[in-house]
């Protein structure tokens, strides 16, 4: 059973920021990847462009990652040490286990980070772009899953969610404030 202090400590290890995830100086950045690990648009494309061909070569070796799961590669030319490719769900209206899969890919990404000695991790807003997950529904799921994982993973010191636009940042800030209020 988790204590209130454990909940508070997990909450305090989450930051939200505007920025470019490819510029984050963290141990691992999380990529909003597709199952085929083929690269794509949005965050996925930006990470592959900035990190260089080494990341794609490693993704080809891995070959596949199921929705709700994550795999790890080196970070190429990025300032991070690793890229964790998390495959979130495609939004299908909410009745296709989207919430479970979104929570799972966040938890799995953090478990991989811990397994590889990472203390700092940066996430994008997984599944909220091309996969169509409504940000106002994705934010509380992603943040709650992260908080739960951090309770089990005390060696991860900081998780930073990085957004390219103020609308997403605002949505996640409101969701985090609600979770923090609920935890008190």
Cite the active site residues. 44
Distance CA 53, CA 55 (A): 5
Distance CA 123, CA 109 (A): 9
Distance of CA 142 to the CA centre of its chain: 8
Q: Are 122 and 30 in contact (CB under 8 A)?
A: yes
* Strand ranges (E), the chain: 14-18, 28-32, 70-74, 82-86, 120-123, 158-163
Distance CA 87, CA 64 (A): 10
The pair of structure tokens assigned to 13 is 């290890």
Closest CA to 110 of 62, 137, 63, 148: 148
Q: Are 35 and 121 in contact (CB under 8 A)?
A: no
């Amino acid at each position: 059973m988790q204590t209130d202090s454990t909940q508070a400590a997990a909450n305090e290890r989450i930051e939200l920021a505007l920025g470019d995830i490819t510029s984050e100086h963290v141990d691992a950045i999380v990529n909003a990847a597709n199952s085929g690990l083929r690269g794509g648009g949005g965050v996925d494309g930006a990470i592959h462009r900035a990190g260089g061909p080494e990341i794609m070569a490693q993704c080809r070796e891995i070959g596949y990652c199921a929705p709700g799961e994550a795999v790890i590669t080196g970070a190429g030319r990025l300032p991070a040490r690793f890229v964790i490719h998390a495959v979130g769900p495609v939004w299908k209206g909410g009745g296709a286990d989207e919430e479970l899969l979104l929570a799972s890919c966040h938890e799995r990404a953090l478990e991989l980070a811990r397994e590889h000695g990472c203390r700092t991790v940066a996430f994008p807003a997984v599944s909220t772009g091309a996969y169509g997950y409504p940000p106002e529904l994705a934010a509380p799921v992603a943040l709650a899953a992260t908080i739960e994982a951090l309770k089990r993973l005390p060696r991860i010191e900081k998780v930073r969610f990085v957004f390219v636009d103020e609308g997403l940042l605002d949505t996640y800030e409101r969701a985090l404030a609600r979770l923090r209020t609920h935890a008190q």
